[in-house]
Chains A and B, each alone.
Chain A
Amino acid sequence: MTFFQLMRRNAWRKRLRAILLMFSVGIAFLIYGLTASFVSGSQGAAGASDNLLGVFNKSGRGLPLPIAYLNRIAAEGGVAAVAYTARMRGFVEVEKNVVAVSAVDPQAIAAANGAELRLTPELISALEEGGDRVLVGRALAEAQNWSVGQRIGLTSQLMKADGSRNWSFTIAGIFEGADAGSDTYFMLARYDMVNAARARDRDTVDAFVVRPRDGIASGVLAARIDALFANSAAQTQTQSEKQFLEGFLRQFADVGLIVSLVVGAAFVTILMISVNTMLFAVRERRFEIGVMKVLGFSRGRIVALILGETLFIFAIGGAGGLILAKLATLSIGPEFGLVFSGEVLLKSIAIIAGLGLLTGLLPAVNAMRLPIVNAFKTR
């Protein structure tokens, strides 16, 4: 027997109670795992770069900017690379199957945003091979069950010059994104093709994507870019990709605050339940604690034993909840903005350890302070 086994056997001595407690902890961490994954994902905000700037029309994000701004932005000293994008939304087969298309210049997007989207030279070359070629994000390809070489069609709100709304593309490749938090639920098309085919807003873009030079603060550069067009008909608003996505979400609600409240309520509840249960469990065996003290177990070892017991229960329950949360995020998919990132996992482990210790603290201190003579009176 080891000290750990002794702790584990103490935890398992009332199996039903231990299982119910683990179940409660598991549910709390399932809720936390899902909500934290949502916040982490936040429609791709997890993978959004703080150093990548988006230049939008200040009057509204749906309004276009002249592509002529490109040269002025590129000439700004702090800009390492700049790309542009025209957005197009449409659906595949049924209206609720919505997909997004960003029409881009292949070389420019590779220079500005290639690292975040993991756009390899091979993918860029494949996109350049034909005007109707597209690169599809991994999440979108898997959701639609698309593969390279497949011909796809979508119906868009963007009308063609011939009056049609049907757009056809050939999948030239699939891009992965830099990590699990990257938003890959969209596709990249050729701007020259889309621009030539569309009925209106030609030679305009929806946004410029700017990568600042190393050592240039993104906030400073954003202000300088906006200053370039301060007296223009179409003024700009420049934000980091992350700021934009967070601001977009905040239009609906302060997601972070709501998540914090929900998770906080769940954790406070589980804390009260588990502290009460552990107090009861330790009170039940005060006599045994007295026996262990007589055998030479120090105050520190008694505290460690009880804290270890609560940590064990939280570790098993918490791990169960987090595994379920991970499975849920995998099955639901990142298109719903759920990303169970490494950061979420690390935070969860820290909370498991913190709550486990907090739960065990009061019963452990009670047991530590219990005089042996008083413990023996409890039989």
Chain B
Amino acid sequence: MTDTQDPYIALAGVRKAFRIGAETIPIFSGLDLSIPRGDFVAVMGPSGSGKSTLLNMLGGIDSADAGEIRIGRSHLEQMGEGARAAWRAHSMGIVFQFYNLLPMLNAADNIELPLLLKPLTRKERRARVDTVMDLVGLAGRQRHFPSSMSGGQQQRVGIARAIVADPDLILCDEPTGDLDRKSANDILEMLVFLNRELQKTIIMVTHDPEAAAFARRTLHLNKGEFVEGEGR
């Protein structure tokens, strides 16, 4: 499926299979995908359909067996592990279902982690952290540790961590899967804000149709192929 002539994300002929013992389980057998810059796409599908595998490949966390994965001008399939790590540090932010904050660091330090990889002074890092904490509604909670925060607050920290390095691409793996409805809606509104106001390209994997409805469009993944759905 093609959306624009020069898509921001382009997958072409991507093949991926998992080997369990002697058995090979194919996940994708020639997957194609094009997503323009600034899109907000929800990816839905039954368990085992490969949603997380797709997200991992888009994030340079897992590699394809064959095919091309291009994001912006970066061809992930041609990169080694070091180059992919550097690419993730500068071009991609990720929001996890279970937040995945480091428990020994407070909110500000968790958010600052990706900035340790950038040539910024301590003052500059702190200023950026304060800015994104304001943006996600956590002003004044810099010194709070994850263990003393609600799920919704922790996910806000997770989002702040994902955007603090100002990446173009944000990947979300079931970002509201562990939250109550109200907190989930707050988080989703925040993602919409990031997409519409800051022009972040967002790919969100979710099981929740209500969450998917916040995206511009929804892709249904089934047997290694996409079927586009309606967004709002």
Interface residues of A (CB under 8 A from B): 1-3, 5-6, 9-10, 12-13, 287-288, 291-301, 372-373, 379
Which residues on the B side are within 8 Å of A373 (C-beta)? 56, 61-62
Minimum distance in angstroms from A120 CB to a CB of chain B: 53
Whether A297 pairs with B85 at a CB distance below 8 angstroms is yes
Please encode chain B, from 123 to 147, with 1 for each CB lying within 8 Å of some chain A CB and 0 for all others.
Answer: 0010000000000000000000000
Whether B113 pairs with A294 at a CB distance below 8 angstroms is no
Residue of A nearest to B105 (CB): A9
Chain B: number of interface residues, binned into ranges: 20 to 34
Tell whether B114 is near chain A: CB-to-CB under 8 Å. Answer: yes
Which residues on the B side are within 8 Å of A292 (C-beta)? 102, 113
Among B71-79, B87-95, B182-190, B213-221, the stretch that binds chain A is B87-95
Which residues on the B side are within 8 Å of A372 (C-beta)? 56, 61-62
Residue of A nearest to B112 (CB): A1
Whether B102 pairs with A288 at a CB distance below 8 angstroms is yes
Provide a sorted-by-A list of 5 A–B residue pairs whose CB atoms are within 8 angstroms: A6-B109, A12-B104, A296-B117, A373-B56, A379-B98
Query: Most B CB atoms within 10 A — which of A288, A298, A299, A301?
Result: A298
Complex CA gap A44/B25 in Å reads 75
Which 10 A-B pairs have CB atoms at the shortest separation, nearest pair first?
Answer: A296-B89, A296-B88, A298-B85, A1-B109, A13-B104, A291-B100, A372-B61, A9-B104, A295-B114, A296-B117
Query: Per DSSP, are chain A's interface residues mostly helix, strand or loop, or mixed?
Result: helix
Tell whether B81 is near chain A: CB-to-CB under 8 Å. Answer: yes
Which positions 188-218 of chain B face chain A at CB distance < 8 Å? none
B56, B81, B117: which contacts A301 (Cβ < 8 A)?
Answer: B117
Tell whether B116 is near chain A: CB-to-CB under 8 Å. Answer: yes
Residue of A nearest to B96 (CB): A291
Which residues on the A side are within 8 Å of B112 (C-beta)? 1
Interface residues of B (CB under 8 A from A): 56, 59, 61-62, 81-82, 85-90, 94, 96, 98, 100, 102-105, 108-109, 112-114, 116-117, 122, 125, 161, 165
Residue of B nearest to A12 (CB): B104
Query: Per DSSP, are chain B's interface residues mostly helix, strand or loop, or mixed?
Result: helix
Whether A295 pairs with B62 at a CB distance below 8 angstroms is no
Complex CA gap A295/B115 in Å reads 10
Which residues on the B side are within 8 Å of A296 (C-beta)? 85-90, 114, 117, 165
Whether B62 pairs with A294 at a CB distance below 8 angstroms is no
Which residues on the B side are within 8 Å of A288 (C-beta)? 100, 102
Complex CA gap A9/B105 in Å reads 8
Residue of B nearest to A11 (CB): B104
Which residues on the A side are within 8 Å of B90 (C-beta)? 296
Whether B117 pairs with A1 at a CB distance below 8 angstroms is no
Which residues on the A side are within 8 Å of B108 (C-beta)? 1
Complex CA gap A373/B27 in Å reads 16
A6, A13, A291, A295: which contacts B89 (Cβ < 8 A)?
Answer: A295
Given known pairs A301-B117, A373-B62, the reply for A295 and B88 (CB within 8 Å) is yes
Which residues on the A side are within 8 Å of B122 (C-beta)? 2
Complex CA gap A291/B125 in Å reads 20
A9, A287, A299, A379: which contacts B81 (Cβ < 8 A)?
Answer: A299
Minimum distance in angstroms from A373 CB to a CB of chain B: 5
Whether B98 pairs with A6 at a CB distance below 8 angstroms is no
Which residues on the B side are within 8 Å of A300 (C-beta)? 82
Minimum distance in angstroms from B76 CB to a CB of chain A: 14
Which residues on the B side are within 8 Å of A295 (C-beta)? 88-89, 94, 113-114, 117, 161
Residue of A nearest to B103 (CB): A13
Complex CA gap A5/B116 in Å reads 11
Which residues on the A side are within 8 Å of B125 (C-beta)? 1
Which residues on the B side are within 8 Å of A379 (C-beta)? 98
Minimum distance in angstroms from B216 CB to a CB of chain A: 25
Minimum distance in angstroms from B17 CB to a CB of chain A: 14
Whether B102 pairs with A291 at a CB distance below 8 angstroms is yes
B61, B81, B103, B109: which contacts A294 (Cβ < 8 A)?
Answer: B61
Which residues on the A side are within 8 Å of B114 (C-beta)? 295-296
Complex CA gap A87/B229 in Å reads 104
Complex CA gap A10/B88 in Å reads 23
Which residues on the B side are within 8 Å of A2 (C-beta)? 116, 122
Complex CA gap A298/B81 in Å reads 8
Whether B104 pairs with A294 at a CB distance below 8 angstroms is no
Given A296-B86, A296-B87, 20 extra CB contacts under 8 A: A1-B116, A5-B109, A6-B116, A9-B105, A9-B109, A288-B102, A291-B102, A293-B85, A294-B94, A295-B88, A295-B89, A295-B94, A296-B89, A296-B117, A298-B86, A299-B81, A299-B82, A299-B85, A301-B117, A373-B56
Complex CA gap A96/B161 in Å reads 72
Which residues on the B side are within 8 Å of A10 (C-beta)? 104
Minimum distance in angstroms from B20 CB to a CB of chain A: 13
Residue of B nearest to A14 (CB): B104
Which residues on the A side are within 8 Å of B116 (C-beta)? 1-3, 6
Residue of B nearest to A5 (CB): B109
Minimum distance in angstroms from A295 CB to a CB of chain B: 5
Which residues on the A side are within 8 Å of B161 (C-beta)? 295
Complex CA gap A10/B117 in Å reads 18
Query: Most B CB atoms within 10 A — which of A1, A3, A10, A296?
Result: A296
Complex CA gap A13/B104 in Å reads 6
Residue of B nearest to A298 (CB): B85
Whether A1 pairs with B100 at a CB distance below 8 angstroms is no
Complex CA gap A294/B85 in Å reads 7
Complex CA gap A373/B112 in Å reads 23
